Amino acid sequence: MHKAPCVGLAVDESTDIWDNAQLLEYARFFNTDQKTSCEDLIGVTPLQTSTRGEDIYLAIKEMVTKRGIEPKQVVSITTDGAPSMIGKEKGAVARLKGDNPELLSYHCIIPQSVLCASLSDEHAEVMNTMMKMISFLRASSSYQRRMLREFLREVDANADDLLLHNNVRWLSKGRVLERFWSIRRDLASFLAELSSQKAT
């Protein structure tokens, strides 16, 4: 990640089951070695005393430094739009823009992704077909799943397994579709080799 030409951050203040405040920090960047766009949870930072803009700013700075990311590499930040995040003078984003005036800031991106998830009938049919294929490949038997994973390793596919969609934010339909698409040719080869009536 430290070799990436630019990094986009997404941060969200949340609480755990014991009501302790935490800052979740995600990074999106271009992996120059693999020539692909990557997204990674880079940290979960406990906010010990308060969730003021200053606390969030310091937590972000600490995590960026810890991960070896130069401040000028950070080109954008996405937040939920809370005052401690986007406050005009004391918000975390304002403080970060003090360090890097070119920083782009976005908020409420996650609800937009939820809106995008409501698919038209045509797209829903494609998604449903793909989900049936994934369920067949992953869930019909543990033996078949092991065979699929071994096959994907043997052919040096871009991924070693398929994702299974659920409603958790970080395993969205988009990620499932992206993974499926990246290994589609390998999956076709696997299905051609599979001696199962369901695959034809």
CA distance 36 to 43: 21
Tell me what pLDDT residue 195 has.
62
The mean pLDDT value for 26-38 works out to: 85
Whether 73 maps to a domain, the answer reads yes
CA distance 63 to 38: 18
Strand duo 21-31 + 7-15: pairing:
antiparallel
Tell me what pLDDT residue 7 has.
92
Strand duo 36-46 + 104-107: pairing:
unpaired
Confidence of residue 197 (pLDDT cuts 50, 70, 90): very low
Lowest mean pLDDT segment, chosen from 109-113, 121-125, 134-138, 149-153 = 109-113
Whether 87 maps to a domain, the answer reads yes
| Domain end point (choices 57, 85, 113) | 113
Q: pTM higher than 0.85 for the full model?
A: no
Residue 73 has pLDDT above 60, yes or no: yes
Based on the domain organization, do 72 and 141 belong to the same domain? no
Whether 1 maps to a domain, the answer reads no
| Domain end point (choices 80, 113, 146) | 113
How many domains is the chain built from?
Answer: 2
- Residues forming beta bridges with residue 26, ordered by sequence position: 10, 41
Residue 200 has pLDDT above 80, yes or no: no
Strand duo 74-79 + 104-107: pairing:
parallel
Tell me what pLDDT residue 112 has.
44
Domain that holds residue 104: 7-113
CA distance 19 to 17: 5
